[in-house]
Structure formats: C-alpha cells, structure tokens
Structure 1
C-alpha cells in the first residue's frame, strides 16, 4: 500500500506544483514520515504563517524532524529570495508607497529587521541590505554601517526601513531618534536620506518624512 508521501510525490511528478495542493507539497518536503493530519494542520496555517515559523516551532509538530524542518525553511527561503530578485529589475523608488511595496516581505517577520534600500541618482534600486535584527535602538543602529554600504555601491540616496511585528506601524520615540541621527550623518556624508518607512501588517506602513520628522 502506498504511503501518503508516495501519493503526494506521484501527484507532484504527474501534474507539477501548479496542480498540486499546498498540503501535498508540504508532504513532499517532509518526506517519508509525512502524516496527512500534520500536513493538513500546517497547510491550514497558510504560507505567510509558515514563513514566519522557526525551526524549533516546526519540529514541535509530530513527524517533523530537523531535516524536514530545514527543507521547509529552505523552500520558503528560496521563494522569498526569488521574489526579491524579480523586484530588483529596474525597480524605482519614487514614493513611500514604492518602498513599502518593495519591502512587503518584512510585514510577516516575527522579529524587527532594519533594512536599507540604496538608490542611484535616478532613484533606481541598486541594492538592499539588512543592517541588523532586533529591537530598534539608536545606540545599535550605527550610521557607519548604513553609509559604508552606500559608498561601496556608489549610492546617491537611501531609504531606511524596519518592521513592527506587532502590526502597528506607528513610530516610537526610538524610531524618530534613529531617523534624525541618520539624517544628520547623511547630510554630512553627502548621501541623502529620503525616508524612513515603518512596515506594519496588512499593507499598513508609515513614512516618517510624510509625518514631518525631517
């Protein structure tokens, strides 16, 4: 008798991922120990929830070991990387909305990330770099880390951004202090800080420039 994993694998082979259920794709990633009740639970969580899960949380589900968890994390990691790569093709940041749309992947992160978009004189995206992960603090965000990369890629301007895992993009006192510090250093270094965008959930974001903080 065929196992659930064998059935899912055969379906994938015959019909491809476009015609395979999300639950069965998870079964293929998990491997021979895939249990339909567990893959059903994971599929019900949805892709966005799974992306935010760490290895330890995945391993807490029966039948999912370290190898299976790594496969799931790698699969979602590759998908996220491809989305970022596709966006990089001549992406222009003309407004806070453009920056927020490009950085939408930050909205589902369980931890705060501070990223920088490096732009050309025509506001074309040159590169994106994660500066740190953790609670935003003016003593942790070093302008040298932000602007060193700007000089390396010959950027004319930057947009900085971080996410609020709570989902509420309202800026905190620390957010405002970090922005002012980076703005002052940027003016001295000759690299224009265009905006600081805070990413919330469900498409919500705040632009500190639009809020009048610089």
Structure 2
C-alpha cells in the first residue's frame, strides 16, 4: 500500500488547522490558502488539503483572478484537483459572486449609463461567454432586480421579446435596460446587437414597457447605444 509523502491536517497543532482557526478567530484571520483548504476539505494520499490549496494559489500570475474565472476543465488540470474538488471551488466562487452582486451593496437608482456600468461592470467584465441580461426598473428608475436572459453569441433566435418581457411583466417593471458583454473586451455594437435592440424597443412600445437603453460591457469600458444615438 502506498504511503502518504506529506502530512495530514490532523497532524498539525489545533491552532494551525484551518477549520479550528476559523472557529477560534473568524474567517478574516485565515490566509487565502487556509480558506481554500477548508473549501477543498480533504487531501489525497500524497498531499493535505493545505498542500492542494497552496498548489492552486501558487500559480503564476493572479491566482485569485484565475479562480474567479476558472472553468471545470481548467481546475481539473491542476494536480490533485478532481471533479469533486473543482465543483466545490466553483460553487464557492459563484456564491461569492452572487453575494457581491446583491442590490444591497450597489446603487439602487439608475440615472445614467454610468450608473449601469457601475452596477454591472465588475460582474460582467471577465465573462468568457456573452451574457444577455435585463435590469428591471420601477416608475422612478429604482432597480427591482436583474435577470439573465441568455448565454452565448447574441442573435435573434436566443433573445426573444417574449422571454424578455414575460420576466419584466412578472416583476411589474415600468421599464428595462438591456445589458450584455463582449468577451473580446471591445464593446463596439455589432449589427445584430443594434437589430435586436430595435426589435425589443418596438415590442416594448406595444406592451407598454419602455426599453431605456442597451449597455454593452467590455474590458473596463462600455458603450451606451442611447448615448451614441444608435437608438
């Protein structure tokens, strides 16, 4: 039987074990390696959870940025990280993204395209696929919520007015703002972007829910179709 070449977390003094340290001092006192070790939970025959976490975080470049955007395929290429541990990491990262994007820590009222950028840029700027979202607004332009409509290259077959406005009606929205990202980082609108926007504006006029703008998010920059007089 093959023997472990590393140590187990149980061999560490109690005050050096990540989970016990969190119990005693709280999560803010833990290093990134210790936090990730808790998420990973267990090691393997050769490495402890701390060893595995250290291996992930000692990659070249910005390791936290890598984790923020990592895919299942990328994580499972790392030594000691199988599908189960990769899923645990991805779930923790996604939950963190969702918590950080909650309305309670973002501006509630939209008065300009810059407000939309401030609201959505941090979440969307690093997406590797195109996400099409709608921000739902009340009669005073306060944000009700935002929802994902589609994922993938933007075209009329996956962004249907029925899907967009059914959700807006359910939320009792007075108006909506369209938002999607360009993974290339260049927010310049395509002809398809413009055509879809105009189609949704026309549908909104019939239904009675205004489409105020379409914001395209790139890498730390955006374009408002309304500001550019495209719509």
TM-score using structure 2 length: 0.83
Q: Secondary structure at the match of 1:74?
A: helix
Shift of 1:88: 7.2
User: Partners in 1 of 2:218 and 2:108 — Cα distance?
Assistant: 22
User: Partners in 1 of 2:96 and 2:58 — Cα distance?
Assistant: 21
Q: Secondary structure at the match of 1:68?
A: helix
Q: How does 1:96-115 map to 2 (within 5 A)?
A: 96-104=113-121, 105-115=123-133
Corresponding residue to 1:145 among 160, 163, 186: 163
Q: Which residue of 2 is the match for residue 69 of structure 1?
A: 86
Q: Which residue of 2 is the match for residue 207 of structure 1?
A: 224
CA RMSD of aligned residues (A): 2.3
2:150 aligned with 1:132, yes or no? yes
Cα pair 2:107 2:115 within 8 Å, conserved: no
Q: Which residue of 2 is the match for residue 161 of structure 1?
A: 179
- Runs in 1 of length 4+ with deviation above 6 angstroms? none
Q: Secondary structure at the match of 2:132?
A: strand
In structure 2, relative to structure 1, the CA distance for the partners of 1:87 and 1:191 (3 Å cut) is: same
Cα pair 1:88 1:125 within 8 Å, conserved: no
Shift of 1:40: 2.8
Q: Which stretch has the larger CA shift, 78-87 or 60-69?
A: 78-87
Number of aligned residue pairs: give it.
213
User: Partners in 1 of 2:98 and 2:87 — Cα distance?
Assistant: 16
Q: Secondary structure at the match of 2:101?
A: helix
Shift of 1:63: 0.9
Q: Secondary structure at the match of 1:91?
A: coil
Q: Which residue of 2 is the match for residue 3 of structure 1?
A: 8
Cα pair 1:22 1:43 within 8 Å, conserved: no
Q: Which stretch has the larger CA shift, 16-25 or 124-133?
A: 16-25
Shift of 1:14: 3.6
Q: Which runs of 5+ in 2 are unaligned?
A: 1-5, 44-48
Which one has the largest radius of gyration?
A: 2
User: Partners in 2 of 1:166 and 1:49 — Cα distance?
Assistant: 17
Corresponding residue to 2:38 among 1, 23, 28: 28
User: Partners in 2 of 1:181 and 1:14 — Cα distance?
Assistant: 57
In structure 2, relative to structure 1, the CA distance for the partners of 1:55 and 1:128 (3 Å cut) is: same
Q: How does 1:168-183 map to 2 (within 5 A)?
A: 168-183=186-201
User: Partners in 2 of 1:212 and 1:78 — Cα distance?
Assistant: 37
Per-residue CA distance 1:140-162 (angstroms, 9 max, x = gap) = 21011111111111111000100
